[in-house]
Amino acid sequence: MFDVVVIGAGPAGSSAATETARRGLSALIIDKEVFPRDKPCGGAVSGRGMSYLSEPIPSGLIQREIHEARIGFSSVTRSVHRDDIMAVVVDRAAFDHYLLQSAQAAGARAKLGERVHRLTDTGSHVEVETSRGTYHARFAVVAEGAFGGLKTRVRRKDRPDEMGLCAVTDVPAATEEIEGFPGSTLEMQLGVAGYGYGWVFPHDDHFSVGVGDMARLMSGPRARLADFLTAVRVSHLPSVPAGTRPLPPPVPPTAARARRQSAGIMSASAARTSGAISADRSS
């Protein structure tokens, strides 16, 4: 039996598994995908986001260091510049794989390419049934992402009016085009998608361009993305199709714990503050 089983090997899941293993507890991380895997995302990690990581992001994973943010609404644009790094841009496939490898290096075991079908709280422990077997643990951390249904064990199901929707694509660009953007700037345009925004983030050899809004207001996401691409003077859509991903709102950790105080199942957002990941092995 493991102390903790983590369902989902994205940044939240891998970080939870790393912290668990570093505190002397046994951890198993399960994900339906085999890593590295593609992940539609702008790829920007803020300074605050980096502060939550167990260790600095290796320089080899950083494609751009960001010193300026350019935010526009209608005809008004404002820029904020900082001499220190306000964010970095990474490739999510490589970044997520690195975090998973860090968890394994800390002592966590990983089962990849296994889809979790059932999560059961027996009262004394948690049973996790996958496409390949059954695992037992004292606690389970659910970090499966927006599409999974397991998180309803610790919180209610998201309502349609709480869901967000994004369309994102990569636009290939030459180095001189990226540097002329300039390459150390993130651009966000408010109001291009209802209450949402559009973004242009520079990478090594392409721009990540996307739009996002509340799902109920995001009719025709591909058309919204095409309009935004035209607005930022990108003349063509690349051959890679735009992906769409719903983005549920974060769950307050206190609410997640209140819904299932006696269970060994929690969301990744609750794990940091719940005290479940602890070197104290007493039950």
Q: Are residues 270 and 131 both part of a single domain?
A: yes
Q: What is the pLDDT of residue 116?
A: 95
Crossing angle of helices 11-22 and 92-106, in 10° steps, is 20
- Helix, strand, coil % (nearest 5) of the chain? 25, 35, 40
The vertex-235 CA angle with 231 and 239, nearest 5°, equals 115
| Structural domain total, the chain | 2
Distance between CA atoms of 190 and 60, rounded to whole angstroms?
32
CA distances from 245 to 40, 135, 221, 242 (A): 8, 29, 11, 10
Domain containing residue 110: 2-39+91-158+251-274
User: What is the reported pLDDT for 263?
Assistant: 37
Based on the fold, state whether residues 181 and 85 are members of the same structural domain: yes
Using the 8-state DSSP alphabet, how is residue 182 labeled?
Answer: T
Task: Give the single-character DSSP code of 107.
Answer: T
Looking at the domain assignment, is residue 192 inside a domain? yes
Q: Residue 242 sits in a domain of what CATH number? A: 3.30.9.10
Task: Give pLDDT tens digits along the chain (283 positions).
Answer: 999 999 999 999 999 999 999 999 999 999 999 999 998 899 999 999 999 888 899 999 999 999 999 999 888 889 999 999 999 999 999 999 999 999 999 999 999 999 999 999 999 999 999 999 999 999 999 998 877 888 888 888 888 788 888 999 998 888 888 988 888 999 999 988 778 899 999 999 999 999 999 888 888 888 888 888 888 764 333 433 444 333 333 333 333 333 333 335 544 444 433 333 323 333 2
* Residues 6+ away with beta carbon under 8 Å from 147: 246
Kindly state whether residue 151 falls inside one of the protein's structural domains: yes
Q: Is residue 281 part of a domain?
A: no
**Predicted TM-score of the model (pTM):** 0.81
Beta carbons of 278 and 23 less than 8 angstroms apart: yes
Tokens linked to 130:
């996958």
* pLDDT value, residue 43: 96
**Amino acid (1-letter code) at residue 200:** V
What is residue 233's predicted lDDT score, i.e. its pLDDT? Answer: 66
Q: Which of 60, 17, 74, 36 is nearest to 189 (CA)?
A: 74
Residue 186's Cα: distance from chain center in Å?
18
Please give the pLDDT value at position 158: 83
Q: Are strands 44-46 and 126-130 parallel, antiparallel or unpaired?
A: unpaired
24 and 148 share one domain: yes
pLDDT number for residue 61: 97
- Which CATH number covers residue 119? 3.50.50.60
d(CA 87, CA 200): 14
Q: Are residues 21 and 64 in the same domain?
A: no
